[in-house]
Amino acid sequence: MILLVFEGNDAEPKIFDSIGKLFLPDEELCVVRCGFDLPTLYSRLKKYGEDLFRCLPLEKNGIVVPEGRRLDTFFSQIFLFFDYDFQNRIGLKRLNDILKEMLVFFSNETENGRLYINYPMVESLKYTKDLMDNQYFGYVATRQECVEHKFKENAEKFACPKAKGYRFVDLSKIDEATAISNWELLKLQNINKANYIITGNNEMPDNKDMVNQAKIFNAQISKYVEPNDQVAILNSFPIFVYDYLK
């Protein structure tokens, strides 16, 4: 069984519903909607001795583990999806220190879990003028835009018609073949950009480890956050598809 941990209650489960049905039809998926951010998860981990399961609202999400079964043996893989949270009031240095530590802790899906980060947030998936958008590699979001809570609205306004409201991956609105094609283009667009963020080359990397989450984070901090108070817009769900599928 695969455990999926989402920061939000709505967008992330909606997006992953498409991934699960299209690419993981034979897997048993268990979803936790947290409703809190990554720094809050970090605080809970410190409080509960780095026991992820005690930190999550499992019962609230209807997750019941069979009697006598240990949680750490119940799930074969764990994936977590959270936002960069550029606007967090704890301050950028503290935020970045937490994320750096969390990416080390959550670096393996068969152990503590594997963490994926959206920059600046999940709405980055629809920040595209087309599929493919040849200008996607250059799109950025400023910290001020996030502090003023404008990015969500800006992303919806910026999105091409088929991307608005995530319609381009919504299986209740499009057929499976179209959704698969859209995911392939989203994967290509976001992997190319991840490689661009790290290496400066807007193209597919030679191997998957070249665009792992820690390398993306470190490049975001050194090339965008610290010098310019902005992040390169990037979504982690297509990167997950790229990482997970052989």
pLDDT digits (tens, 9 = 90+) for 150-168: 999 999 999 999 999 999 9
245 in a structural domain: no
Q: Residue 180: name the closest of 27, 31, 29, 21 by CA.
A: 21
The predicted structure's pLDDT at residue 71: 74
**Contact by Cβ (8 Å): 53, 71:** yes
144 in a structural domain: yes
The predicted structure's pLDDT at residue 68: 65
Phi (first) and psi of residue 110, to 5 degrees: -95, 0
Say how far apart CA 137 and CA 129 lie, in whole Å.
Answer: 12
Say how far apart CA 83 and CA 90 lie, in whole Å.
Answer: 15
Domain containing 221 equals 2-239
Total domains, the chain? 1
The predicted structure's pLDDT at residue 73: 78
**Contact by Cβ (8 Å): 45, 36:** no
86 in a structural domain: yes
Contacts 24+ apart (CB under 8 A), 191-196: 191/238, 191/239, 191/242, 192/136, 192/137, 193/136, 193/137, 193/232, 193/234, 194/234, 194/239, 196/137, 196/232
68 in a structural domain: yes
246 in a structural domain: no
Tokens matching residue 2:
């695969």
For the chain, residues with pLDDT lower than 50 are none
The predicted structure's pLDDT at residue 232: 98
Tokens matching residue 110:
């068969």
- C-alpha distances in Å from residue 19, one per residue of 3, 172, 211, 238, 244: 14, 13, 20, 9, 11
Tokens matching residue 204:
């597919």
Three-class secondary structure assignment of 19-66: HHHHHCCCCCEEEEECCCCHHHHHHHHHHCCCCHHHHCCCHHHCCCCC
The predicted structure's pLDDT at residue 133: 96
The predicted structure's pLDDT at residue 69: 67
The predicted structure's pLDDT at residue 67: 72
Phi (first) and psi of residue 137, to 5 degrees: -60, -25
Residues 6+ apart with CB under 8 A from 117: 38, 82, 83, 84, 99, 103, 213, 216, 217, 236
55 in a structural domain: yes
The predicted structure's pLDDT at residue 66: 72
The predicted structure's pLDDT at residue 122: 97
pLDDT digits (tens, 9 = 90+) for 55-89: 999 889 988 777 766 777 789 999 999 999 888 88
90 in a structural domain: yes
pLDDT digits (tens, 9 = 90+) for 35-45: 999 999 999 99
Strand pairing class (140-142; 230-232): antiparallel
Say how far apart CA 89 and CA 86 lie, in whole Å.
Answer: 9
Query: pTM for the whole thing?
Result: 0.95
Question: 15 forms bridges with which residues in the sheet?
Answer: none
30 in a structural domain: yes
Q: Residue 224: name the closest of 123, 120, 83, 110 by CA.
A: 120
